[in-house]
Amino acid sequence: MPKLKDLQNVKIVVYGYTDSAPVGQHLASQGIPDNLTLSTRRATTVVNYLVAQGIDQNILSAKGFGDTHAVASNKTPEGRAQNRRIVITVQGPGAGPAS
């Protein structure tokens, strides 16, 4: 698979997710009032990292989904940990397998 910065004609979208636990006081004091904001911040942090690694910022975007789209139960610590995640997608004609 080619390195992300070598890809052309693509759009890289970073999706952020959280568990369903309410945002704690520590995050609220940092201007993060809810899980949607937290997930967007999480995705944006990854986008900023990718830009710092040399990925063209014009092909990057971030989207937060908060506590929607759970992949595991929020009733256990393990499930909540699985729901706190990011997913990076590469879309477009340049996203196919390398020849």
Mean of per-residue pLDDT scores for the chain: 92
Q: What is the mean pLDDT of residues 49-59?
A: 93
Give domain 10-95's CATH superfamily: OmpA-like domain (3.30.1330.60)
Taken in order 27, 28, 31, 32, is the CA torsion positive or negative?
positive
For the chain, the structural domain boundaries read 10-95
Distance CA 31, CA 22 (A): 14
Q: Look up the pTM and report it.
A: 0.88
CA dihedral 84, 29, 57, 47 (to 10 degrees): -20
At 96 the pLDDT is 67
Q: What is the mean pLDDT of residues 64-83?
A: 97
